[in-house]
Structure 1
Amino acid sequence: MRVAPLPSNELDRLRVLRSLAILDTPAEEAFDRLTRLLAHMLRVPVALITFVDDDRLWFKSRIGVSTCETPRDMAFCAHALTAEDVLVVEDAREDPRFYDNPAVTGPMRVRFYAGVPLRSADGYVLGTLCATDTVARTLSDDERAAMRDLARTVERELLVRKTAVSARALHQADAEAIHLSEARFRTIFHQTPTGAAIVDLDGRFIEVNPRLCELVGYTADELLALTFQQITPKEDLEHELLRLVELLAGRIGAYTLEKRYLRKDGIQQWVQWHASLVRDGNGDPLHFIAVVEDIDARKENERLQIEHRCALEEQVARRTAELHAQNRHLQAVIDNAQAAYVSIDEGGNVTEWNDAAVRMFGWARHEVLGRPMAEIIIPPEWRDAHLDGMRRFLRTKGGSILSKATEVSALRRSGATFPAELRISTASTDDCHTLFAFISDVSERKRVEAEVAESRETIQKITDSLPVLIAYVDRDLCYQFNNDGYRRLIGMSTAQLRGQPLASVMPRALYRALLPSFHRALAGERVQCDDIDDDELRHRTWSMSLVPDLRGREVIGFYMMAQDVTDRKKAEQQLVVQAMRDALTGLPNRRALSAQLDRAIGPGALARRPLAVFFLDLDGFKQVNDAHGHEAGDALLNQVGRRLQKTIRSTDFVSRLAGDEFVILSHGVAEDVTAARIAESICEALRTPFDVAGSEVTIATSVGAVIWDGHAATTPGMLLAAADKAMYEAKRKGRNGYTLAPSIAVR
């Protein structure tokens, strides 16, 4: 029985076949209908749609047989893989390929066979549409044409299947991407330190985070049963509903307002509410996204300030009305009274002290009138400067701080100092000059500013400590924020980089390569750039993420995060190198040998040249190992590897397969006489004694060789098996020699 040769594209053909996911699938009417039609048309007992797997012939549709597969070696269809048109065997008993085939001599008693190759969209033969009979017969031209037409119908069904498989794969990838995006959103939504909610178009809460529940005192389940209208006081609701109408109409992209919520315990809670509208692909509104920030403490502070200011202004207005006719400077009090009011004469003594000053500094009015102001409210370290300013004022009748708000340090009666904002004005009469000051305690404002500065500093420190480059880039492609990684990389501080164009900082080639990605980010797309090579600056490899900063519907910039992956890439390359080397001898290992053979004879080989494969097994190695120990055996293997490398040509490839087995590949060797000369030189090199652990040891080698002509269909495994078999033949002949296997050539 003659076995069908493997097609030259066998590996790719099997890959395409398996990508269809059709093997071992149930029967399908679309295919069964065609086999029934073929059996009826040709009047044969057996009609099949077959696919040729690596070791079997599998029937997708069958008429007249009970089994679903047969071995590939005995399959008529395996011969059809290399047929250009219909393969017809009119009488199998008379055909040298099939006369002794079990399908012919056995119970199936096949005499006639006709099979049309079934090709994939890219031309690979995957199987056949075939018919068999137990009697010899011929096939007319019309019958051949009809079989071709039916085969094309089968191929269209296969194309439909491939399209469906690809569609399912794309759907799965899309589903996984959506799942990842949703997971990220859930993490941000539930862990953000501000309240957050998704609200439907009727105002009902769809989803809320833990911080919002904490703000309003409801559980998540309780909030999901409510609308935002139900927990908003009526006096705040009308204005918010007007803003929602504008948002739905598309006149605004988002809005922010300060409002109150009615907590579950009945207390009103001040919040800052930021709402934006999410629309679908057609622009129709879906729901609102709301971010809620607690501003209750700030609103309470503002209320107290307003009450304090009103009380002060009322007091100043009342006193001013009483003394207006006698004191011109009281008009200034009416215009500027916002805080503590203090007036002094040319000697620096206090002439007026209002109630706000009493509360602020702790001194009663009668205790300070007539006393030097410097002794009362100015810290000791600033008193000399105050006296110098007074003298300068009296001399010039002017000063740099007049009528301007100035931050100073003030002194309470208790001895504590606090930051204050000072505004000084002057009034003159024919007799004297009077200075009057309005002083505000800005401790709370300074505390808030310090917290903001500390928060910014903390963010800077956190980003500076991260092992990535982090930057914020505006729409003009200028840096607005950078972490300390940039200073370490290019020697410029974050202050120096702020406002600098990317084009002036990045290497030119790198900037040109990334510019399309920057434009995509500014268009609202999240961009991931991997394996970016910077060959100008530091010869590094980067992985970069660009995240758009979307405000409403407008992208105002993007965040840029880059990680140096140079060491990781080098480590990966090193691991690949290590994985391809024998740990003992440093020679290429079995994996490297397989890769070398694939490159030489595989489907993707660029140049198909003749190749000689030499399989070596050391004779006497076990005796050395037993007599001198494993360390001596390892040393001997190292010396064998070095001798082999010196013996062969520089273009040849020597590898250690395992134990005391070595394989050598010699490219361009096409003649037996050349292969024999190489094999003899290998044997001769290893007959020379070795110095191992101070002792002289002698070994030999048995070599099996096989030549591939560069064209015949074969595999790495087949070549190695042929060389291995020849090596064992050399051992059988008495060792310490070589045997050449028959060359593998096109026949």
Structure 2
Amino acid sequence: MGHSTRCAVMGDIESPVPLDEAMRLSALAGYNVLDTPTEPEFERLVQLASRLFGVPIVLISLVALDRQVFKARVGLDVCETHRDVSFCAHAILRDDVMVVPDALDDPRFAANPLVLGSPFIRFYAGKPLITPEGLRIGTVCLIDTQPRAGFGEDEQRNLTDIAALVMDRMELSRLDYVRAVSQARFENIAATSPDAIICSTGSGGITFWNAAAERLFGYTAEEMTGQSSSRVIPGSWRAAYFDELERLNQGGELRFVGRTIVRSGLHRDGSEFPAELSLSSWREGRTTSIGAIVRDITARRRNEDRLYRLASLDTLTELPNRAAWRACISAQLDAQTPVTVLLLDLDGFKEVNDTLGHPTGDIVLKEVAARLLAECSDALMVARLGGDEFVVLLAGTEMRTAKAIAGGLVQALAQPYDLPGHIFDIGVSIGIATYPDHGQRADELLGAADLALYRAKATGKGRYMAFEPAFREVAVARRGFERELRQAFENDEFEMFYQTQVDTRDGRVCGAEALLRWRHPQRGLLTPVSFLEVLSQKPIATAVGEWTLRTACLHAKAWRTRIPDFRIGVNLFESQLRFGQLPGVVERVLQDTGLPAEALELELLENTMMRNDSATLKMLQTLREMGVGLAFDDYGTGFASLSMLKRFPVSRLKIDRAFIRDVISDPEDAAIVKAVIYLGHSFGMEVIAEGVETRAQLDFLRANQCHHAQGYFFGRPMPEAAFSSELERNAAAL
């Protein structure tokens, strides 16, 4: 809910001013926090907030008459700014958190010099600092130089908690200030204070006990007046308390005067609670008196613990999280301490999530964390970086020791996981890097471990690998190749080739498979084996896939004028199936090109089928309902089961060329081909064989009722113009 305002115009910027401005400024002055030295508690809170929310700038901002003053700050060098450019001047008009996702899109701030110039604010979130009387004296605000799409309820609640902690500290500062200004007014103020305030003689006899003390400790003022204050002090520090009284009565000073300390207090029922105490003493003639302000910080401790856990611990495994890992490794490197990093990534974990769901996957991650801790009890840190990625930090750089630990982890994490109703085998791949040999900075060291991890996975998974400088050289070359791929798409260097598909019964051309080629400006025409694996992992794969689909459909539409039942097969990238947009893309392409749905066949790889999730199944069913064919490419080479053929709406099986090559001479290959043909017919699917190169292979397929085939025997893949000419020659021959 907002508050009524008026506007003070300064230059071209309107600065909103609350109607209760005079009262608000008076309340701010009462806290005595403007132009005073910063306090460690405030600095700790802004640093915690920076880690918790992942923002570079966090401020405790106090909005004065014509300026905003930063009581504590992280990520910003200046101590104050003019109020007329302050975001916080707007935030104090609200009760809740003010969020500006992108300042450039907000007419209030789009022309603000703090947006257009340093510190280049794009995202802002501020929670007002509200006094017990409801006056807004400033904010705790988060600032980022990048826009953010949202700031959820949990994040707003966490920011509100931090603002409450700041106000707690402000209240203590206010009370300390009031006490310093006028000791004579102490008891009048104490009587209405929300904190327990106790006065006693130098021997500990209580002379004043306010209402808040009654509520906190459970004793009335009548019960405690004249009694020893040790009655509410636990035995853990009672002796120290009497030592302090002795020091005071001998003319000394209380050691903790002018400081806030944390000790435990004692409730009437005998239970202890954490308390924050501010002590003072004064002399009136020959009489020594002691004053104590006591606050129960149980709730604050709970909030601080929760915020610490959110900022530093992974909520699922309770291992240190990425932020804690960064702090730890940075501290080691700053101290120039030799360390070894083991970067771990689970093998086969995605299958658990896809098959049994994320709750079961969470059980596995917890068990992985437990096994890591058991195997690495001497590690400096074991942390979860996110997903199924973990990291272990070891002291020293002895590679033999690191490899022994890595080998033990591979064995420990490879042991079966006994899940409800299932037993899963999950492996791990590990990359090893050391400081200072493999990196001087934290990100460089982790990058080296990541390159070693990539190499470990590439060599078969379930392995560990130590970093070598050559890995970085390969990574640089790969990044260069990826840039070339992006430029290839932008420069129209990709081409479509087509390979004939025939009906084995009469030799008639019935379709073609569309195959992607790259005409590289220096290296000439490249086949998919040279670039497809890298391309499929890049963001442009989806765009290239849609271009491939559109180009193939456009050509097929023209070829259907010669062969009315011509069908084009198009291979899909994994990324095209990932976000559920494929049916809409296919429908749009078919409409734009005029190709009937039954003339298009999309070829799926086994990893698509192995995902076995409901979203993918629904998407494929939608495509089949449109009339589009679905071919299971390279069937028989992987782990696809019969249940998948029953579950997924596949319309054709493609027999991999590896089985056709020796089908005449190898009885096992012949048996596999016969079995696939039988399965296809049994499930009501068509079957096509790839890699047919001889008449004997074709005769075998005909004899076993495989009605479609493709391969060099019928023609090599060729460009669109050559394929069109080939169709014309075939038509003339018929």
TM-score of the pair, normalised by structure 1: 0.32
Greater Cα radius of gyration, structure 1 or 2: 1
Identify the structure with bigger relative contact order (alpha carbons < 8 Å, sequence gap 6+). Answer: 2
